[in-house]
Structure 1
Amino acid sequence: METTSRAYLDAGAAELLAPVAREALLAALDDGWADPRRLYAEGRRAALLLDTARASVAAALGAHPDEVSFTGSGTLAAHAAVLGALEGPPGTSRPAGTAVVSAVEHAAVLAAAARGAREVVEVPVDALGRVDPAAYAAALALPGVRVAALQSANHEVGTRQPVAAVAALCRERGVPLVVDACPSVGREPVPDWDVLVGSAHKWGGPPGVGVLAVRRAVRWRPAGPDDEAEGGRAPGAVPLPSVLAAALALEAATASAAEDDVRLRALVALVRERVARDVPDCEVVGDPDDRLPHLVTFSCLYVDGEALVTELDRRGFAVGSGSACASSAQRPSSVLAAMGVLTHGNVRVGLPRTVRREDVERFLVELPLAVREVRERLGVTAL
């Protein structure tokens, strides 16, 4: 049965654009179009707006403004973060050394480590998707470690990582820690970091704005083209209207984070309970408590993930499936595989800040019907 009532439930991929961001974006198209590096009046006006946006984002991240740069996306920021930490000092050809990463990092982090490091050591995770600090410590003790990476929380299942413990271990070893905080910036306090990555469309800003923050004391050198823009960390022109919108969206998200956390956490708990109860042969994954407030992932036996997403879309629900890094390819989730849990028939629900409880309730009514419909098409019945 087709429905015209739509509910967007994929905020893990992209949060809905915040109203303040939309207003700022439109206004900045008139006021912030000039090159902020130019000395004429329009350029100075643009530079003032950029400085204001940078200071606002820096305050939210617990950083100095000169530590914050804007990139074309969170993916580009993550790639640059790892490669920059692997670069040798200027004028040297020092070998790149070893990168230590968790097995459930974003694909951009894993790809950058594979490209830039002489060796990559993956720290495994448990069935909830969390690394063991002791296992991370053992990896850091290996010779030649130049960089470590650990996400603030997993972007697919929501499980928080022990960043504080790992950051302390890295500090003891003198190894910079890259923290992919894309899933959590604007929702939770920023964890300890040496290099941090964020993505505006995850907190309600426009797409096309990533954040790369590098502590002043950290050994880090750009691996990309030489360019004076953004302190040399992000070559190319800054999309100033989008950056301004992103900064205001982050202010709004941070201001409402505590209230949003309570409401979304309760709704996610409801989803976890009802899915486990009402959908046969279904596994809800990730930590049930120590997690991000808005994400929940589950997998269903005897169901193709793409078919289930399509059926739910037909019923009026936009949800994710497969790897959060490559969902268009519908490849099995590498995160779920690393956790050792069921990867078939995967659905990832991300509740936006403005989600209505009635839409969540309606989803929980339609989901068992959608699963049964897909299974019947495959000839799987009587479960």
Structure 2
Amino acid sequence: MGYLDAASTEPLHPAARDAMVAALDAGWADPARLYGAARRAQMLLERARAEVAELLGARPDEVSFTSSGTQAVHLGVLGSLRGRRRAGDRLVAGAVEHSSVLHAAEVHERDGGTVETVGVDLLGRVDAGAFAEAVSRPGTALACLQTANHEVGTVQPVEEVTAACRAAGVPLLVDAAQSAGRLPVPPGWSVLTASAHKWGGPAGVGVLAIRKGVRWRSPYPEDERERAPGFENVPAIVGAAAALRARAEEEAAEGPRLSALVDRIRAEVPRLVPDVEVVGDPDHRLPHIVTFSCLYVDGEALLTELDKAGFAISSGSSCTASTLRPSHVLEAMGVLTHGNVRVSLPRGVSEGDVDRFLAVLPDIVRRIRSTLGVH
């Protein structure tokens, strides 16, 4: 199987596996207790917290672990809005944010808040000027912007937006799920979220970092004082920290290699397949993601045929792939939404995997089109 869906889940890094196996024996106890086994678990937990904090540019006491990146986003958005109710009820977000941000925004609206969505250009980049204007309006409590888009890979102008938020006195939540471990985390954020399985850590570990001085109040019941209450999965958190460290150390070599393979796919797909639109910024992008859309092709049929040919690939939004709804990202960009394919290259993917994908794709698209009477 050629696995080309790393934007959904990066395969478990060997460093994570080794760290988790070691921590299963030493970190099984409840780190909140006082006996010896619990203290050992607590030591492992705090060591992992310090490592993740260092790699993300935070202080250890600013970092909490959640059960997923989605939970981290929900807690970050709703908790920040709740903590800043006296400042206002306006939320500003980019139009191509991950669905977890948009769903939290819908909850905020249902509770009486207001949401302003800032549009993007054809490459999927948010309009920094429009974003700055939006956050400067009275009553803005929070702004949200991803570091890079999860579907098309376009890097967002986080530093420009950060400066605008700072000038307006508005905290900025930065969703770094796709870029953590691949690109440096932009400075100046107020709240940061990430997800371990995107960088080769185990599934079930999210990161929520909240800067000191940022007002935040839990959306959970009043007696829950922790940001993410519950029993931490210490072995998984230890594995997540080990994977993030390893991924960051490998990126100097692996990032350019993957980026060159993506450049090849971007160039070859429209040459080999007629009526194809490659989307996203060709230059200012994540190193491992390329997305294209095929006219006269059903996306689900295309994925099914690629699966039969031995390729695991996603189409459109990873959170709406099982529905008939078009990708909100592609719609916001104003580009073709039909027959969409997101190729995302995992660590260690070979040039041969890319060669094989490019070899089978044209015939698969031709056969699907022929069933619809398109030649």
Q: Compute the TM-score of the two structures, normalised by the length of structure 1.
A: 0.94
Residue number in structure 2 paired with 1:252: 246
Tell me the CA shift for residue 325 of structure 1: 2.4
Letter in 2 for 1:130: R
1:371 to 346, 365, 372: 365
Could you tell me how far apart the structure 2 residues matched to 1:180 and 1:330 are?
26
Change over 3 Å in CA distance of 1:355–1:174 after alignment to 2: same
What is the CA RMSD across the aligned residues, in angstroms?
1.3
Tell me the CA shift for residue 141 of structure 1: 2.2
Residue number in structure 1 paired with 2:347: 353
Residue number in structure 2 paired with 1:234: 228
Letter in 1 for 2:355: E
Alpha carbons 1:186, 1:203 under 8 Å: kept: yes
Secondary structure of the residue aligned to 2:54 is helix
Tell me the CA shift for residue 373 of structure 1: 1.4
Residue number in structure 2 paired with 1:114: 106
Residue number in structure 1 paired with 2:167: 172
1:316 to 310, 320, 330: 310
Alpha carbons 1:297, 1:349 under 8 Å: kept: yes
1:191 aligns with 2:186: yes
- Superposition map of 1:192-231 within 5 A: 192=187, 193-226=189-222
Tell me the CA shift for residue 322 of structure 1: 2.1
Secondary structure of the residue aligned to 1:87 is helix
Could you tell me how far apart the structure 2 residues matched to 1:266 and 1:306 are?
28
Deviation above 4 Å: which 4+ runs of structure 1? Answer: 93-96
Name the stretch that deviates more: 40-49 or 14-23.
Answer: 14-23
Alpha carbons 1:187, 1:254 under 8 Å: kept: yes
Could you tell me how far apart the structure 2 residues matched to 1:225 and 1:260 are?
44
**CA-to-partner distance for each residue in 1:282-336, whole Å, 9 max, x for gaps?**
0000000000000000000000000000000000101000212222225311000
Tell me the CA shift for residue 260 of structure 1: 1.2
Residue number in structure 2 paired with 1:79: 74
1:300 aligns with 2:289: no
Secondary structure of the residue aligned to 2:146 is coil
Alpha carbons 2:88, 2:140 under 8 Å: kept: no
Secondary structure of the residue aligned to 2:266 is helix
2:148 to 142, 148, 153: 153
Tell me the CA shift for residue 95 of structure 1: 8.1
What's the % identity of the aligned pairs?
Answer: 60
Could you tell me how far apart the structure 1 residues matched to 2:24 and 2:368 are?
46
Change over 3 Å in CA distance of 1:95–1:112 after alignment to 2: farther
2:92 to 79, 100, 112: 100
Change over 3 Å in CA distance of 1:223–1:39 after alignment to 2: same
Gap regions ≥5 residues in structure 1: 1-5
Residue number in structure 2 paired with 1:135: 130
Could you tell me how far apart the structure 1 residues matched to 2:325 and 2:68 are?
22
Gap regions ≥5 residues in structure 2: none
Tell me the CA shift for residue 122 of structure 1: 0.2
Residue number in structure 1 paired with 2:334: 340
- Superposition map of 1:37-52 within 5 A: 37-52=32-47
Could you tell me how far apart the structure 2 residues matched to 1:148 and 1:202 are?
23
Alpha carbons 1:87, 1:96 under 8 Å: kept: no
Alpha carbons 2:151, 2:316 under 8 Å: kept: no
Alpha carbons 1:227, 1:234 under 8 Å: kept: no
Tell me the CA shift for residue 140 of structure 1: 1.2
Residue number in structure 2 paired with 1:3: none
Name the stretch that deviates more: 325-334 or 248-257.
Answer: 325-334
Secondary structure of the residue aligned to 2:160 is helix
Tell me the CA shift for residue 349 of structure 1: 0.4
1:63 aligns with 2:55: no
How many residue pairs align between the two structures? 371
